[in-house]
């Protein structure tokens, strides 16, 4: 292979990787915390899956995708937090990314059952389809909502005062700052 062909191939692979991973949050960059604010009144929480106590003093909105490996890691860390901290609740909004084959169906299945345990199962069985037991517009609304409020990837956490934290590093920043809990160790 000629040198110019190798350079072209490397460039094409680089572009391919950027396209494929564009929707996943930049979880390795500690500076990737989006400090813009979102008016949380624009986020309907009636269809969210709630992890923790509904009347918890501290509430955080989490946009997540059941096929996203970064989201899976974060999901089980958040689950551990609510088991020990009754004053924290996470409002889970399922936002399936197009790049994940089974995410849309899994998200619909979880919403149809309104089941945190089914959400756990969806994360545990990544790459395995789940089929919804109902027809629901919720997931399509979530996709539109994420676009409307300008979200770029998952996982995305939004504090109750509207600050946006993207990726696992963003989650670490928010949870460590607000609650003194280190979720990355």
CATH at 171: 3.40.30.10
Number of domains in the chain: 1
Q: How far is CA 6 from CA 1, 11, 19, 143, 162, in A?
A: 7, 9, 20, 39, 46
8 Å CB contact between 120 and 79? yes
Q: Which residues in 74-105 are b (16+ Cβ under 10 Å) and which e?
A: bbebbbebbeebeebbbbbbbbbbeebebbbb
Within 13 Å, how many C-alpha atoms sit on residue 9's CB side? 6
pLDDT digits (tens, 9 = 90+) for 85-137: 999 999 999 999 999 999 999 999 999 999 999 999 999 998 888 999 999 99
12 part of a folded domain? no
14 part of a folded domain? no
pLDDT digits (tens, 9 = 90+) for 12-70: 555 544 444 444 443 333 334 445 799 999 999 999 999 999 999 999 999 999 999 99
Residue 133 is part of which domain span?
26-179
């Amino acid at each position: 292979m000629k040198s110019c062909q190798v350079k072209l191939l490397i460039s094409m692979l680089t572009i391919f990787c950027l396209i494929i991973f564009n929707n996943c949050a930049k979880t390795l960059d500690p500076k990737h915390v989006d400090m813009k604010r979102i008016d949380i009144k624009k986020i309907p929480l009636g269809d969210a899956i709630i992890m923790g106590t509904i009347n918890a003093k501290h509430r955080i909105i989490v946009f997540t995708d059941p096929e996203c490996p970064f989201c899976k890691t974060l999901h089980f860390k958040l689950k551990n937090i609510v088991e020990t901290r009754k004053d924290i609740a996470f409002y889970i909004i399922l936002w399936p990314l197009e790049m994940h084959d089974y995410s849309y169906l899994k998200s619909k299945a979880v919403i149809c059952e309104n089941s945190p345990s089914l959400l756990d199962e969806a994360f545990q069985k990544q790459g395995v389809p789940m089929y919804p037991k109902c027809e629901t517009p919720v997931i399509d609304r979530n996709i539109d909502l994420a676009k409307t409020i300008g979200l770029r990837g998952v996982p995305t956490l939004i504090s109750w005062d509207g600050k946006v934290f993207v990726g696992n590093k963003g989650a670490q920043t928010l949870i460590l700052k607000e609650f003194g809990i280190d979720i990355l160790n």
